[in-house]
């Protein structure tokens, strides 16, 4: 889904709106809303509980909320989830400004044209012929493809070293490649694409672990309180996710405005505004990620505790 949105969405919007982006966005978002609603309804109607609580484990909403407030790993994961999606929204919403205003268009064209010619020759050029639009699509595609590779390595690494340690280490490494964007010249197209690919790979390793760690928090809650509160724990995490996306998206517009970005300018952006777009894909999104890495030092569910919780819960359920 992410690959589709980041790689093909802009060409589809332009096609749907016959060149008018505003009309294209309206049409495409309407169809996505309809399809998304249908998918959510199917999910709701077909989902079944994986672990059904016993009568002794049943609790009220008030008891579940009280358990959450005493659950330190849950609080840390809630903040971590929010910070993660602040960063994702900031950098994801800023790349288009970075390509349109900072990247050297002539260098991008010379870099991207051979790729487009090859794709066209084999009949799979979905990116169009505009170098900036196509370059933006290929930039996202490279990151996502290697992100998928990273996702495939996640479980084996977590099984060996523990989810917390793997998540923290590779989130830190991925963040370093974000920070690197601050030091690239506008003509360093190869380095820019390379950093995106490496960032995608290392960040991909963390993606399944965030949700696995949230599941560990649900197990921790049951282990501590003898009551399972999976639904409210995941629901609260979704609130953190949405909050992070909202904060991150709003920060993009606030920061662009702070640096004097003018969307209606016909003479180009000021050097200060261009610097703002550069910082929005590097330093600013790196800050929440680094805060998240720091939070993990206070997250107590390490590999040893994971194993202990899993074993003891299994024994309880079998008795």
Residue 115 lies in a domain: yes
User: Quick one: 192 and 272 in the same domain?
Assistant: yes
Do 146 and 196 reside in the same domain of the chain?
Answer: yes
Distance, CA of 14 to chain centre? 25
Q: Do 108 and 44 share a structural domain?
A: no
Same domain, 39 and 178: no
Asked whether residue 8 falls in the same domain as residue 98, the answer is no
Q: Are 83 and 244 in contact (CB under 8 A)?
A: yes
Is residue 54 assigned to a domain? no
Predicted pLDDT at 59: 66
Token output for 184:
């690239």
Q: Is the pTM of this model over 0.85?
A: no
Q: Kindly report, residue by residue over 248-280, the tens digit of the pLDDT.
A: 999 999 999 999 999 888 788 899 999 999 999
pLDDT mean over 66-84: 89
Average pLDDT, the chain: 88
Out of 108-112, 167-171, 199-203, 285-289, pick the least confident.
Answer: 108-112
Q: Which residues contact 162 (CB under 8 A, 6 or more apart)?
A: 302, 303, 304, 306
Cα 13 → chain centroid: 22
Q: Are residues 87 and 29 in the same domain?
A: no
pLDDT band at 159 (very low <50, low <70, confident <90, very high): very high
Residue, of 127 and 34, whose pLDDT is higher:
34
Residue 58 belongs to some domain of the structure: no
Cβ pair 225, 314 in contact under 8 A: no
Cβ proximity of 46 and 206 under 8 Å: no
Q: How confident is the model at residue 1 (pLDDT cuts 50, 70, 90)?
A: confident
Residue 56, in any domain of the structure: no
Tokens of 308: 């202990």
- Count Cβ neighbours within 10 Å for each residue of 237-264 and write b for 16 or more, e otherwise: beebbeebbebbbebbeebbeebebeee
Q: If you write DSSP's letter for every residue of 119-176 in order, what string do you get? A: HHHTT---S-S-HHHHHHHHHHHHHHHHHHHHHHHHHHHHHHH-HHHHHHHHHHHHHH
Same domain, 37 and 128: no
Tell how far CA 177 is from the center of its chain.
Answer: 15
Helix pair 105-121, 189-225: axis angle to 10 deg: 80
pLDDT surpasses 90 at 87: yes
Domain harbouring 178, CATH code: 1.20.1250.20
Domain limits for position 41: 1-48
pLDDT digits (tens, 9 = 90+) for 38-70: 999 999 999 876 666 666 656 677 777 777 788
Q: Is the pLDDT of residue 118 over 90?
A: no
Same domain, 183 and 37: no
What does the pLDDT look like over 168-199, one tens digit per residue?
A: 999 999 999 999 999 999 999 999 999 999 99
In a domain, 83, yes or no: yes
pLDDT at position 316 is: 81
Measure the CA angle with vertex 216, ends 210 and 217; round to 5°. 95
Domain annotation covers residue 257: yes
If asked whether residues 32 and 83 sit together in one domain, one would say no
Q: Which range (117-126, 215-224, 259-268) has the least confidence?
A: 117-126
- The per-residue pLDDT for 125 is 66
Q: Using a pLDDT cut of 70, give the percent of the chain over it.
A: 93
Whether 103 and 20 share a structural domain:
no
Q: Which two tokens stand for residue 56?
A: 């002794």
Higher-confidence residue of 147 and 120: namely 147
Q: What is the largest CA-CA distance in the chain?
A: 74
Q: What's the confidence (pLDDT) of residue 163? A: 94
List all residues 6 or more positions away from 87 whose beta carbon is below 8 Å from its beta carbon.
248, 285, 286, 287, 288, 289
Residues 20 and 70 in one domain: no
The C-alpha atoms of residue 211 and residue 81 are separated, in whole angstroms, by 9
> What pLDDT sits at residue 252?
95
pLDDT at 177: 97
Report the b/e string of 135-146 with b at 16+ CB within 10 A. Answer: bbbbbbbbbbeb
Per-residue pLDDT at 233: 84
Q: What is the pLDDT of residue 55?
A: 61
The pLDDT tens digits for 4-41 are: 776 677 778 878 888 887 888 899 999 999 999 999 99
Q: Is residue 262 part of a domain?
A: yes
Q: Rounded distance, CA 83 to CA 104, Å? A: 31
Mean pLDDT confidence for 159-166: 93
Weakest mean pLDDT among 63-72, 119-128, 196-205: 119-128
Distance CA 76, CA 93 (A): 26
């Amino acid at each position: 889904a992410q690959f589709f949105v980041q790689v093909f969405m802009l060409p589809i919007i332009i096609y749907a709106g016959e060149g008018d982006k505003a009309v294209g966005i309206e049409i495409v978002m309407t169809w996505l809303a309809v399809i998304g609603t249908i998918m959510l309804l199917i999910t709701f109607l077909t989902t079944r509980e994986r672990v059904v609580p016993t009568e002794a484990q049943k609790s009220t909403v008030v008891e579940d909320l009280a358990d959450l407030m005493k659950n330190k790993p849950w609080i840390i994961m809630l903040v971590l989830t929010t910070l993660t999606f602040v960063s994702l929204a900031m950098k994801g919403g800023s790349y288009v400004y970075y390509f349109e205003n900072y990247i050297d268009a002539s260098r991008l064209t010379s870099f991207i044209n051979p790729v487009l010619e090859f794709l066209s020759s084999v009949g799979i050029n979905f990116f169009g012929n505009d170098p900036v639009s196509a370059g933006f699509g290929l930039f996202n595609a490279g990151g996502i493809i290697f992100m998928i590779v990273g996702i495939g390595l996640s479980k084996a690494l977590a099984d060996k070293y523990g989810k917390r340690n793997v998540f923290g280490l590779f989130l830190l490494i991925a963040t370093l490649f974000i920070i690197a964007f601050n030091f690239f010249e506008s003509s360093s197209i190869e380095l820019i694409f390379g950093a995106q690919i490496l960032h995608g790979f290392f960040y991909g390793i963390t993606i399944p672990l965030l949700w696995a760690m949230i599941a560990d928090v649900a197990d921790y809650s049951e282990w501590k309180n003898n009551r399972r509160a999976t639904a409210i724990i995941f629901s609260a995490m979704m609130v953190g996710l949405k909050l992070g996306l909202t904060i991150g998206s709003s920060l993009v517009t606030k920061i662009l405005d702070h640096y004097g970005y003018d969307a209606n300018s016909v003479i180009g952006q000021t050097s200060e505004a261009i610097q703002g777009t550069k910082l929005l894909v590097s330093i600013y999104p790196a800050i929440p990620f680094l805060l998240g890495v720091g939070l993990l030092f206070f997250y107590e569910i390490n590999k040893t505790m994971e194993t202990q919780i899993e074993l003891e819960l299994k024994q309880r359920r079998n008795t």
